[in-house]
A and B are shown apart, each in its own frame.
Chain A
Amino acid sequence: MNRLAATLVALIALAALPLRAEPVTGYTLDNGLEIVVIEDHRAPIAVHMVWYRSGAADAPPGRSGIAHLLEHLMFKGTETRAPGEFSDIVEANGGSDNAFTSQDFTGYFQRVAADRLELMMELEADRMANLDFSEQDWRTERDVILEERAQRVDSRPGAIMGERMRAALYLNHPYGTPIIGWRHEIAALSGDDATEFYSRHYAPNNAVLIVAGDVDPEEVRAMAERHYGPIPAAPDVTPRTRPQEPPHLSERRVSYIDPRVGQPYVMRMQLAPARRPGDQAEAAALTVLAELLGGSPFTSVLAEALQFDREIALQVAAGYNGMRVDDATFTLGVVPLPGVSHDEAEAALDAALADFLDTGIDLERFERIKTDIRASQIYARDDMRERARRYGTALTSGLTVADVRAWPEALDAVTREEVMAAARALLENGHGVTGRLVAPADEQNGDGENS
């Protein structure tokens, strides 16, 4: 009784918490380069990121992995800088640098003392326009990537199944192809493929510059004008139109059996709407839904149903990320207890979801989760790189600075009715892919069949 009272007091206090707006400035250069500056003056540090609106899903057919190979080759020199020199200079300045490729974007970042920002711009602008790598470099990097694939995918049964599930989920859209690429297509990529992809996509009018940290927005703008401003816009950059999904009318099942499976599990993926500029309400509801269903290993709907009320699962999961150019995915997972079969786990998952649709959302649980999400927004402000990343992802997924700033309020405004509507649309009408990760010993119990 006492405890409940304390919780309610906390809820009220938090609701009134002043969430000061983030100091964020956005503008666009004449050549189309979009710039976002996030001020954080707590430490004399700056994060500098350039994001291209081109990712794995923009690869030509048969060239899977080209966006990622190009990302590797961006460290292999320009007309005036030797291979590796970029990273050498960053390190000589005490900084760190890296890059990442996703389906929708490719990003490059450095973290340096704030007074080294301009040097980072000089380097990054150079490789935006003047990339130049040798045949030996692209051949070696292709080998490195084959090893990367072996390490990250081919050695991990869960990663192999994830690849197969996404391939089954997307019937027509390139999201079904792995970011790193299929092995046989990586092995056939060439330096010319990379150069072609580079010329087509790497230009200021297809890029977003994010600078976060102890910086002044006007100084950043002047520096950006100096270094990125002279690079001409590329005439060929057009909005991305990828093959879209037809309606999903049938269930699909994937079963992957591997002797290296230590812990079998069941996973389900289905399409879900992404966040759209000026229209984030359904995505916000889906975000809260994922939190409600599987966010907490103790209090979430699925944890309660499958770990506490019944002894079915060791662990449950629910996930949704709405920052996507095209259709996003909603994922559910159950790791069964020893002795619980995949069939039982899947049936229990379905029963728990059906029960959730029947009974709706308990008000106290809902308020608690909203409080927790509000707190997350505060803790997120502690991590400069993560904040920069959030803007970069959003702006290369079709969203605007205004959408990112409106997101906390969008989450806060979600009602129980909206969550249930989103849940019904997803769970009653959606046809997804159910995957089973199976150890050979389970298969002998009739569990590995592709039913």
Chain B
Amino acid sequence: MMKRLFFALAAAVTLALPARAAVEITELTSPGGIDAWLAEDHSLPFTAIEIRFRGGAALDPDGAEGAVHLMTALLEEGSNGMDAQGFAATLEGLGARLDFDSSHDTVAVSARFLTENRGESAELLRAALTEPSFAPVAVERVRGQVLSGLRSDARDPNAIASRRFAELAFGDHPYATPAEGTMESVADLSRDDLIAAHEAALARDRVYVSAVGDITPDALGALIDSVLGELPTTGAPMPEPADIGLTGGLTVVPFEGPQSVVTFGHKGIARDDPDFMTAYLMIEVLGGGRFGTRLMHDLREERGLTYGVRSYLVPRDLASTIRGGFSSRNEYVAQAIGLVREEWARMAEEGLTEQELDEVKTYMTGAYPLRFDGNAQIARIMVGMQLDDMPVSYIEERNDMVRDVTLDDIRRVAQRLLDPEGLHFVVVGQPEGMEPGG
């Protein structure tokens, strides 16, 4: 009775056409030759701009791990004759927002500029990107902040788990080391290392730009040239892909606390693999971060073993994995891991039911247009698409790609990808009935 009501609703909904992503993107090339995507929207008097440089912390040379991260953190610490405080005060006076961030794969810049003073705000961003001063006093202050973060991570079970997993998965590849570097490498970084990281990472041959908001194509083109035009044409060569050396098994890292933190995974699927969308649907049903997935049902809703459990694809430029994780009371961990393994095996053997496939398609096609909400958020999506080498038309085509996935596709891809035997679990805690090791 209950179930029937639900299906009636679901069916009605499928017929009512879901909202379409209401974003019109203009592709443009600045007079200086830099490509960008723009979605104009003049309802709020500001523009959100996202800039990405491909190749982030993975560019760090041996022994200088953390150089790109520290360099990126120092971009807002003074340039063009301003010290850190002078730079921040000028930014505040303009009401502009600048955020700099780095990962293994990218250096990211997120900016929001008020229309009133966009030119002056852009000038600050230009100064930050092209002539950061790396003043010794600023280097030491920010180095101290990075080291403090690393010290905290060393006692944080989540960070310990991720780190151990990365070491097991990536061996001596840069992915094995945190993007922030290590206590030793960060302590040893010199100003020259930072200058080298700046030259290696911030170049025009690897830059992606998106903008959303109160700006015209011409104004954006001019802004891009003024901000990025002085950067070098080329940067460091991209690093080699990583071999994933992970084998199935269990690694226990003893850690005192009420719960164990568990992270698990194995080799995954690249973003440009033709089966990526199929894999995405499959992993969403298995453990997408919401109620009603197979893993949430087994571990939380049925048994109360955890507050939350997820599985997800991690497609990165140099290696891809399938990952998952949860936290659970020490006496429950063994049971919870057993259930994850069972679900992994069941999916590999059986794939999805028709009902599950229909439901996840309805969810994903309905949810997609809802992502396009807010200038800053849309700008992030657009620059992400460029990094993934997708055309503008992907926004229109994407839901059809979801609808085209068949049960056979899922079965084939689940068999290809999911390897219950190859699944490696890292457990940080005091799990009952499990031997420390690894």
- Report A's interface with B, CB cutoff 8 A: 3, 6-7, 10-11, 13-14, 17, 42-45, 75, 80-85, 87-89, 91-96, 111-116, 119, 139-148, 150-152, 154-155, 259-263, 296-299, 304, 307-308, 314-315, 335, 337-338, 365, 367-369, 371-372, 374-376, 378-379, 381-384
Contact = CB atoms under 8 A, between A and B. Distances in A.
B144 interface: yes
A337 B96 CA distance: 29
Given A89-B6, A142-B304, A144-B300, A378 B93 contact: no
Given A89-B6, A147-B306, 6 more contacts: A96-B290, A150-B258, A150-B327, A298-B87, A378-B95, A383-B374
Among A7, A75, A261, A315, max chain B CB count under 10 A is at A7
Given A88-B6, A113-B369, A372-B95, A143 B145 contact: no
Nearest to B366: A94
Contacts of A75: 291
Contacts of B93: 7, 10-11, 367-368, 371-372
B44 A378 contact: yes
Given A154-B257, A296-B88, A379-B46, A314 B95 contact: no
Contacts of B307: 144-145, 147-148, 151-152
Contacts of A369: 92
A155 to B, nearest CB: 5
Contact of A113 (B116, B259, B302, B370): B370
B304 A298 contact: no
Among B90, B95, B96, B153, max chain A CB count under 10 A is at B95
11 contacts: A7-B90, A10-B95, A43-B373, A45-B369, A82-B3, A94-B362, A94-B364, A143-B305, A147-B304, A155-B259, A298-B88
A381 B365 CA distance: 27
B2 A82 contact: yes
A91 to B, nearest CB: 5
Interface in B284-309: 290-292, 300-307
A144 B114 CA distance: 45
Nearest to B120: A6
B219 interface: no
Interface in B1-48: 2-3, 5-6, 9-10, 13, 16, 18-20, 22, 41, 43-46, 48
Interface string B347-374: 0000000000001001111111110111
Given A84-B301, A92-B362, A151-B327, A384 B374 contact: yes
Nearest to A297: B88
A269 to B, nearest CB: 22
Interface residues of B, number: 83
B329 A308 contact: no
Contacts of B112: 379
Interface of B: 2-3, 5-6, 9-10, 13, 16, 18-20, 22, 41, 43-46, 48, 82, 84-90, 92-97, 112, 114, 116-117, 120, 141, 144-145, 147-148, 151-157, 256-259, 261, 290-292, 300-307, 327-329, 359, 362-370, 372-376
Nearest to B116: A13
Contact of B97 (A80, A93, A335, A379): A379
Contacts of A114: 19
B116 A89 contact: no
Contacts of A299: 85, 88-89, 92
Contacts of A367: 93
The 7 A-B pairs of least Cβ separation, nearest first, read A94-B366, A375-B95, A143-B304, A262-B152, A298-B88, A7-B93, A113-B19
Given A42-B41, A115-B16, A144-B307, A91 B290 contact: yes
Nearest to A386: B374
A87 B290 contact: yes
Given A140-B304, A154-B257, A263-B151, A14 B9 contact: no
A130 to B, nearest CB: 14
Contact of A371 (B20, B92, B368): B92
Contacts of B94: 7, 10, 371
Contacts of B291: 75, 84, 87
A113 B258 contact: no
A412 to B, nearest CB: 13
B302 to A, nearest CB: 7
Contacts of B258: 150, 154-155
Contacts of B369: 43-45, 94, 113
Contacts of B114: 14, 17, 375, 378
Contacts of A146: 304, 329
B90 to A, nearest CB: 6
Nearest to A94: B366
Given A142-B304, A260-B257, A10 B120 contact: yes
Contacts of A14: 95, 114, 116-117
Nearest to B376: A382
Nearest to B150: A262
Given A87-B292, A140-B304, A368-B93, A95 B370 contact: yes
Among B41, B367, B368, max chain A CB count under 10 A is at B367
A336 to B, nearest CB: 10
Contacts of A382: 44, 46, 48, 374-376
Contact of B144 (A44, A261, A337): A337
A143 B300 CA distance: 9
Nearest to B289: A96
Contact of B259 (A111, A151, A297, A338): A151
A372 B307 CA distance: 38
A155 B257 contact: yes
A355 B114 CA distance: 35
A25 B430 CA distance: 54
